[in-house]
Amino acid sequence: MSEVMRFYYEGEPEPQMSEEWEAFMNDPDRFRGYPALPDPEDITAEELLEQLQAVDTRSVRDSNDPLLSVPPEQIDPPVEDTDPPTAVASGPEKDAAGVHPKAEIWAVFSESVTEARMELKGPDGSPVAGNSQQENEDIAAFLPEQPLAVDTRYTVEVSGAKDAAGNVMSGPHTWSFTTGADVPTVSGFEPGRDATDAPPDIKVMMTINEAVTDVQVIIKDPSDTAAQGALSSDNGNTLWTFTPAAPLAVSTVYRVEVSGAKNDSGNVMAPYTWSFTTGETSPTEHKAAG
């Protein structure tokens, strides 16, 4: 018999006599061991493999040992995905009013999808010309070819979205919104409304919420005399600056009126006005004092 490496549980008596050893090794419920590996120089790779394959592993199946009696890990089979994708968010919001005619139209799905189709319909049910596209794996969008009509109710329909498991959304998802008036508005200006102590050589600036043309700016004193000056634009025709040809009078209330601003849809803003007051020091006096 070849040399055998053996092990025992704590407290288990070791056989002493040859008869005890023979009985121990022939008892599959008691014997736990494996052949000792010979020195590398005494065995070939083929012989080593043959000896390892001949080891009787039945001896480690001891039902009385809680560690060895643990059943093999059970691996649950993969759960089949049968849930269809759904639209979980959308814009503009359902039943929103006053929506800008150039607002983005989009829908977000509960998971990554393909083949999503988005259609926009007018109040008579006719489709609006535009492109339906997926901006991300879970976002679809609709891009109208032209700005939408003002003060008009539109309906969006999303359908066909399919997930990676092949589940298609159970039915179209629809919602509606109403556009507002597409007119430019003044969103900021300098000097501020009712500002005091404004420098007489100040430049009057205003920001409009979109690119516009045909802007007119008039600055008048209390006698209704308009200040002369030049008007320029920046930031893609959204920032407009009026530079007076000469410093304004000191300690005087001036009224600013902005009008005529027209966007690329041809809509013209309503006139916008505000007032400010210049300070008591002229630019010349200010420089001399410095």
Q: Which of 9-18, 28-37, 40-49, 180-189 has the lowest mean pLDDT?
A: 28-37
Query: How much is the pLDDT for 183?
Result: 83
Residue 255: both structure tokens together? 């009224």
- pTM of the model as a whole: 0.46
- pLDDT tier at 289 (50, 70, 90 boundaries)? very low
Same fold, 87-179 and 186-282: yes
Percent of the chain with pLDDT over 70: 74
pLDDT tens digits for range 154-172 = 999 999 999 999 999 999 9
**Which element (helix H / strand E) includes 46?**
helix 45-53
**Residue type, position 204, single letter:** V
Domain segments of the chain: what residues?
A: 14-60, 87-179, 186-282
- Of 208, 154, 217, the closest CA to residue 183 belongs to 208
CATH 2.60.40.1220, applies to 186-282: yes
Phi, psi angle pair for 190, to nearest 5°: -150, 130
Sign of the torsion angle spanned by Cα atoms 33, 34, 39, 40 = negative
Span 87-179 CATH architecture: Sandwich (2.60)
Q: What is the mean pLDDT of the chain?
A: 83
